[in-house]
Amino acid sequence: MKRLIFLLFATVVMCDVMAQEIVAHRGYHAGDGCEENSIAALRAAQDAGAYAVTCDVNMTSDGTLIVVSGPWLGKRDDPDRLNVQRTDFVTLRSKRLANGEVVPTLDEFLAVVAESPTLRVFIDIKSHATPQIESEVARKVTSAVKMHKLQERVSYLSMRQYLCSELVRLVPSGSEVIYLGGNLTPEYAKGLGYTAIGYSIDVFKRLPRWVDEAHKLGMKVGIWMVNSDEDALWALGRGADYITTDRPAATERAIR
């Protein structure tokens, strides 16, 4: 009888562990030719059978959604670096990423995501100059997701409370909206209509109770950036639903 109870307990624990998903931050970009947020990094994640990737979205000065972290394109010491939100799309496309690719549009990125039947994408919308611009970006992002028929495979993320609240208003019921700012209690975030919180590992190490509080409210929890085995095991032990990392293969080995 004791052995049966132990086996049942072990099965439950394993189910909990396997439910925790690894999210590749800006794709699989550690290999040759795989720059962050590039199509190559996205395809590498697909080839590796990743559960999900994140991508960063900014809007150019002439209204095109592009996948780039920003706010600058180019290294700090590059005299020709460009502010992506203050530059027109054609000019940005003339500047190559480190792997030789051009900056992808969100439409181009989502078209590749749609080639896979299972890959999820976590769209991280960056802050913009005004609430009016952010509302426009939110509308355009949700429209692009709908056009590519990816509503069931997209989660929406932002550091900006205003953007998350706009997304709650715009997305279909049941869509995942994840607040990244790190400053709201789970109860407050839930009251705003957000379905998950995704805070840095430093925040959760200071306030580990927030993981349990979020789960009790029916919210999911993401932890970033988890780039060491030690942090991966900590996030695993706390019961994070999503573990976001720059080293997905190594993190997978650490927690499995």
| Domain regions of the chain by residue span | 21-255
Residue 11: other Cβ atoms inside 10 A: 10
Q: In this structure, which amino acid lies at residue 231? A: D
122 bridge partner residues: 54, 155
Q: Which residue has the tokens 């997978």?
A: 252
pLDDT at 79: 85
Number of other residues whose CB lies within 10 A of the CB of residue 193 = 13
Q: What is the C-alpha separation between 119 and 125, in angstroms, rounded?
A: 19
Q: What is the pTM of this model?
A: 0.92
Structure confidence at residue 32 (pLDDT): 76
* pLDDT value for 18: 43
Per-residue model confidence as pLDDT tens for the chain (256 residues): 444 333 333 333 333 444 699 999 999 998 778 999 999 999 999 999 999 999 999 999 999 999 999 999 988 888 889 999 999 999 999 999 999 999 999 999 999 999 999 999 999 999 999 999 999 999 999 999 999 999 999 999 999 999 999 999 999 999 999 999 999 999 999 999 999 999 999 999 999 999 999 999 999 999 999 999 999 999 999 999 999 999 999 999 999 8
Q: What SS3 state is found at 77?
A: coil
21-255 to CATH, choices 3.40.640.10, 3.20.20.190, 3.30.980.20, 3.40.1010.10: 3.20.20.190
Instruction: Collect all residues with Cβ–Cβ distance below 8 Å to 219 and sequence separation of at least 6.
Output: 186, 189, 190, 194, 195, 196, 197
Nearest-CA neighbor of 122 among 179, 73, 170? 179
DSSP characters over 190-219:
HHTT-SEEEEEHHHHHH-THHHHHHHHTT-
